[in-house]
């Protein structure tokens, strides 16, 4: 088993950051060949997802759709004012599991791994482990 942590710094309130390259580099550095890569995001206002990475418009569209699905202007009870971010983190989820073959993430042709920031900008961590 090998494991580590990657850092992500976000620059906007909401953004999807492609972390596929960061994870791939960690796997190469750790000399991982085959296994299952578990990714875990320990933050309550951020998430992880896998989606299309070829067209950046997909990320923009996801963020636009979020604004239509989750109301940001209702009377939330949470005093910090970031309840929509907590709701989104719960809907998207805090983890991903990806097969690793020959040192590479076994993703589909267009797939990338994204860190989903819902309460930025911030500095964040993502833990990974290959078993």
- Predicted confidence (pLDDT) per residue in 58-85, tens digit: 999 999 999 999 887 888 888 788 899 9
**CA nearest neighbour of 19 among 55, 49, 43:** 49
What's residue 59's pLDDT?
A: 97
Starting at the edge strand that comes first in sequence, how are the strands of the sheet with 111-117 ordered? 15-18, 111-117, 46-52
- Name the residue ranges covered by the structural domains of the chain: 2-125
Residue in this structure with the two tokens 């500095």, named with its chain if needed: 123
**In the CATH scheme, what is the code of domain 2-125?**
2.60.120.460
Q: Are 128 and 23 in contact (CB under 8 A)?
A: yes
Of 33-42, 43-52, 71-80, least confident by mean pLDDT is 71-80
pLDDT digits (tens, 9 = 90+) for 17-33: 999 999 999 999 999 99
CB crowding 17-54: b at 16 or more within 10 Å, else e: bebbebbbebbeeeebeebebebebebebbbbebebbe
Residue 19 phi/psi, 5° resolution? -110, 10
What is the predicted pLDDT for the residue at 81? 80
- Rounded Cα distance, 9 and 115, in Å: 10
Residue pointed to by tokens 């589909």: 108
């Amino acid at each position: 088993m090998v494991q580590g942590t990657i850092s992500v710094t976000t620059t906007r309130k909401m953004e999807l950051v492609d972390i596929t390259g960061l994870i791939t580099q960690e796997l190469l550095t750790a000399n991982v060949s085959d296994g299952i890569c578990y990714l875990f995001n320990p933050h309550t206002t951020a998430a992880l997802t896998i989606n299309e990475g070829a067209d950046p418009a997909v990320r923009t569209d996801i963020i636009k759709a979020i604004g239509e699905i989750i109301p940001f202007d209702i009377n939330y009870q949470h005093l910090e004012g970031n309840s929509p971010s907590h709701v989104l983190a719960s809907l998207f989820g805090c983890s991903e599991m990806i097969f690793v073959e020959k040192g590479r993430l076994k993703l589909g042709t267009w797939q990338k791994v994204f860190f989903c920031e819902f309460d930025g900008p911030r500095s964040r961590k993502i833990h990974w482990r290959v078993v």
